[in-house]
């Protein structure tokens, strides 16, 4: 069963360009992780400070491995978080039919 993550980040005023650069940097690295099925970032059409990242993993453990990865720790935890006004993480699993 897959594990889906929706991350919504809102950059602080004036930080949206740097946050976008960080997202562009981590996207290909995240897509190469074992257990990653999808990683796609979006910017809000009404608010260029707001970003949504759709992530899909084989399971919750693969998502935790993503969060522990060197690139996530360096670029997200070590740089990006201080540039954010807010960050929301929502996780989903498939609805049984």
pLDDT digit string (tens) for the chain, length 97 residues:
899 999 999 999 999 999 999 999 999 999 999 999 999 999 999 999 999 999 999 999 999 999 999 999 999 999 999 999 999 999 999 898 7
Cα Rg, the chain, nearest whole Å: 13
Cβ-Cβ contacts under 8 Å for 23 (sequence gap 6 or more): 41, 51, 53, 80
In a domain, 30, yes or no: yes
pLDDT of residue 96: 81
In a domain, 78, yes or no: yes
What pTM did the predictor assign?
0.93
Query: Three-state SS for 96?
Result: coil
In a domain, 97, yes or no: no
In a domain, 47, yes or no: yes
For position 43, which CATH number holds? Answer: 3.30.70.100
In a domain, 72, yes or no: yes
Count: domains in the chain:
1
**Residue 30 belongs to what domain range?**
3-53+62-92
């Amino acid at each position: 069963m897959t594990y889906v993550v929706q991350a919504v980040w809102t950059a602080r005023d004036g930080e949206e360009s740097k946050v976008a650069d960080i997202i562009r940097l981590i996207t290909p690295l995240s897509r190469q992780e074992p257990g990653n099925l999808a990683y796609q970032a979006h910017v809000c059409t009404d608010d260029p400070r707001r970003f949504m990242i759709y992530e899909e993993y084989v399971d919750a453990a693969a998502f935790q491995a993503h969060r522990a990865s060197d690139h996530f720790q360096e670029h997200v935890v070590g740089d990006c978080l201080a540039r954010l006004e807010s960050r929301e993480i929502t996780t989903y699993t498939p609805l049984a039919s």
